[in-house]
Structure 1
Amino acid sequence: MQNQTNDRVVYNLNTLGYKRCKQFGHYKYTKVKPRLENHIHKDIIEICYCLKGQQFYNIEQNELKLNGNDILIVSPNTIHSTGVYPEDKGELFWIQISLNNDLGKLCNLPFLQSNYILKALTKKSNAVFKGAFSLKNILNALFTQLEKPQSILSVITINHLIIQLLLETLSLTEKPQEVKPTIRLNIINEYIEKNLSRSIYVDELAGAIKISVSYFKTWFKENTGITPNEYINRLKIKQAKVDLLNEKTITQVAFNLGYNSSQYFATSFKKFTGITPKAYIAKHNTK
């Protein structure tokens, strides 16, 4: 019926009797996992809902980034993966729906209606859209219903929630998408890159774009999906990947990036990449 670990659950909806519905999954990772390899879903549309954190996807060699509250629709029969990136820290739901009418009615909808919804969603595929709080409520409600023993009422409710989820997603993809706040983020990126060699504090970043610290924290998480401190660490680790292949020692790289010890640096590096600095160097030296 389902595959489950402490931080990841996958329901195989078709085996539970929900025709045309394949997987409904959820993960909540506190550390990175191995990258998702190239794969294809035959005649299946997949919708990913990133609630927290961030995640990169590579779809037919196009790199897309999801932040918290973003939606990605992956078109059927399309090669996709997380590219060179791991499955990242954060929380994400996904659902897979078959386009094959021979498998039966989608949640008991007439074919004309279900085909309309799925065709419209497919037209919006391979792009990132901004979500809404209502989606989180639907996703959590669906997850809760699937955890309960199956009954006539739960089957009716789950069918209703799946259709509600698809309709709400379609509605959000048709809204004008807000322009990303690139000017502020560019200023922040430049400030961090100029000060990678030391500890950087949130009040400095707020001051760089001339807003209050309290508003900055809220604004930043809404627009990046992560906290300022995690964002800083990610940029440090990104630079560390370059430095580790050029500097003499791991300790030197750690201190050059403002870490108090090589041990703490190694812990942070593994947290965001899934491997230790030593393993990273060895991996690239064998290429």
Structure 2
Amino acid sequence: MKIQKEIIEFEKGKSFKLFSPGFKNCFFWHYHPEIELVYVEAMNGIRHVGKNISGFTDSDLLLIGANVPHLNFDYGIQTECNQLVLQMRENFLQDIILPVPEFENIKNLLERSYLALSFSGETKKIVVEKLQLMKDKNSFESLMGLIEILQILADSTEVKELNKEDTRIKWFLNDKIRMGTIYDYIHENHDKKPNVNEIAEIVSLSTPAFCRYFKKQTNMTFTDFVNNYRINQAKVFLLKDYSVTEVCFQVGFESLSYFNKLFKQHTGETPSEFKKKHFKAIEINGRIGVITRESSCHKEF
């Protein structure tokens, strides 16, 4: 579960690869020198890129720079999840983009991608449609499609930087703690009372040392991280048509008023507002369905 370098193989004569990964039961905390564009579609999920740990609802489109550590985006997702990943060769920026003056905006985009960029709105919609079309095109047409997508991203204002500082792998070289152990502990205990002293002992650190380490790794305290995880789990239960009160206690909160307050702080809307907005017929794999509490979970721990 330590951070791993992913070795990416490309087909001969191709500058990039486009595929749909599926790790599900695997905690894959990794990095690679290739720049990556990721689209993930799920009711609700958690993204961990560099220092940023945040949730998303419905879908997310991310541009992740070279050597930025990140967790696979389907980790912990208990419902249907679809991904589309585009990885560019390590020399893509240097050999294809930099020599062409007309690609100046794309160059700036790719150079800024080390912060991890999340795209939304019409940008996300258009780019995903073009990614889907690329799957059926020949090599040359696909490359032109990629250039077009990068230009759209470069010109977009519907973008958010997930990190505020450089989090490339050099920042993690001295990390000897197994982050997967921490994730697993929180997953198993978030609905109870996760104990910082207990997890510190599990990863062989004193409590003060663990708190310093955890804050450095995530920019969050252990308590804030647990509450963030609980809120994201709460979204899943709300989308399965549990009542707000049921969800509150299901994910480990002891006060309904505190749960409502914290949920709104994290999402900008109350649990009731979130449920009303998102609990509706959704399209999954070309069919219309409603997510209910009887829906099967696709993730096992």
TM-score (norm 2): 0.48
Higher helix proportion (structure 1 or 2): 1
Larger radius of gyration: 1
